[in-house]
Structure 1
Amino acid sequence: MSSSTIIASCLFILLPTINSIAASEPTSVTTSVQVVSGVEAEHLAYKWTIKNVTLHPLIFGCIRSPAFKTQNGNLSFWFKLFPDSSTLNHEYSSKSGTVQLSTYSPMSENATVVVDGNIVMFHSEEIIANVSLAGARIGPGFRGYKFQYHPMSPGLRTSAFNSASTVTIYCNIDMPLKTITKVISASKPQASEPQASDNSQTKQLTQDFRRLLQNENFTDVLLAAGIHRLPAHKFVLAARSPVFADMIKHAPRNESDSLTLRVDYMEVDEVKAMLEYLYTDSISNLTDVVMVRGLLAASNRFQLPGLSTICKNVLQKRLSVDTAANTLVYADRYELDEFKKNVTAFIKDHFQDVRKTKGYKQLKEESPQLLMELLVSITEGI
């Protein structure tokens, strides 16, 4: 569970009125006052998987989930699944089921909260319910939030529940924790004028460091990838990467000043590209998707956010039906949240084609949790 803060910001500019009673030019003072009011919200994500559905014993006609707690230690939520809706309400059909989300609080018998979020219910990989919790009031017992599902919806390939059935319920809830108010006063910042020669100086520095990498003068460290040895400069590696700095600091010393750092988990071309980035802050002719994925792993390992951005931009440009599923895996693995949203949106727009690719099959076999998350995202707004 994690917390987020929703902020509303208001900026007031106060310009004092100055009456000019002398021949001199009037002056003015600009003061900015920023007042921030917000609500710290808690986001809860809960997954309940029920295997062998029809073999579960029913307590008062339902299967009960374990309770899931919030950061407010006095409040919990839990699900009840009624396979036969008519046991809950005689007006309901016996061919449908009902799910109920309720609160529980040992401190209050009337613990009711207003939440946002959604609930998605799967029978195997088929979605049998998708409901919004926007503004929903959730209370204890039968004052909980209820919705019906149909185990055999129109077009559903699978049959109704049986002893081998697996049902999964995903629940996302956003609820308020506390209100936050903050006042900040500061004088208006004055933007400094950029120096006209900045760009030319940066370009010259980049060219100098590229030559330093190419002519191998004064190198004092080797990066070893398999049988290959690539020379570099300790001061460059240490300045650009805190991980390399730590490796150099703790590496065993020999009689000479040079040392070897092993990067056998990288291909030699990946090491060359990474060195180009370390020396010049750029990589020329980077188009191979496989190499980009390797460099993305390197950016994560050596804490190189700039390299991660370069890789992300290349993957975005090369995003297609064939690459989408694998790209989603890498975006998730290296926590590229905004990029992951973009890839998910692309897959949603091309889902019928993406699901036929080898990458999607691999995603289904090797990353079932990510697949479920993808399917939940695709159903939002349906």
Structure 2
Amino acid sequence: MPPPDNVVRSASAIFSSTESGQHVLKIEGYSRIRDAVASGSSVRSRPFLVGGYYWQISYFPNGYTPYWSEYISFQVVRDYCVDVRAQFTLCLLDQAGVPVPSYTSTVSNDFRNNRAVLFNYFILRSTLERSSEYLKNDCFTVRCDVTVTKPPEAKDVVAVTTSSIPTAPPPIVVAVPPSDLTRHLASLLATGEDSDVTFEVDGKMFKAHRNVLAARSPVFRALLKEEQSGDGDGGVVRIDDMEAQDFEALLGYMYTDSLPDMKVGEAAAVLPDLVAAANKYKMERLRLACENKLCEYVNVRTVAVMLAFAGEHHCHGLKNRCLQLLDDPGNLKVIVQTEGLEHLTKTYPLVLKDLIAKLAIKL
């Protein structure tokens, strides 16, 4: 039985909205700044407001770390961690103020657990310096587009009578299956179909595709160009500083953007080597993925080794996880009893340095 025509109903809706903004950063006196600021150090822009939050752009003229010293890096930073999701597009502007597509990068980030998003190898310094289209009168310009997803909120909807609600056919919904791109790429790697390069690692052969590797790593791109222009060995490239299982995991990540399923023992053996490979081949997301996974294995038995490894390989998140564990005096006591203070001092001197620095902050 339909309701009477005079029934008034209330209604509300939950909305999710976004707010966008731009900030243009001009680097004036490029060469003087480059010579004055060391690799790993930066200069920040003025704060700018988008979506109700203040942001700043950090400019690294000689790379975010010494590993990327030949690149120019940028980082978009929040003053503090906040539960907000945002998308950032950083683009190099030509002399007409138009974005250069080949130097435009987009990254989405959830600021619940961190306060910065990194554009690590944004552009090679040598590329910028030899192009008058980008660098003129010792100046160049970048633009950062920020889109902030605002927290969902409920709002009242104007009440209507049932007689005024129009009838409409139900919407047509087309079911779109999840992306299967990585499955196809994984199959391409597994079968070796149409491969055009072979790697020899620890006596084992791996077939791969030049374009995939070049797109994923600037170091692989340079390595394969050099191999192609040289005498070569019938398309065989030797990798002498990795084990076969590590290189297999590296290739798998390059094709699927995911780490292989590993048991605890396998992960302990492979992940540190993958961090080293990620640093060598300039694959920042792989390094962060491995670092995040290593955080799961931090405990009183492993924390000393993990903290030493984090310091050696610049894994700041892993280092903070280790120091967080050591916030508990009980954990620290167990570690000293297990390892022995003299052994810790001789084997992990940097661990004690970090602990002393942490204790000094609390005093």
Q: Which has the larger radius of gyration?
A: 1
Q: Which has the higher contact order (CA 8 A, sep 6+)?
A: 2
TM-score normalised over the length of structure 1? 0.47
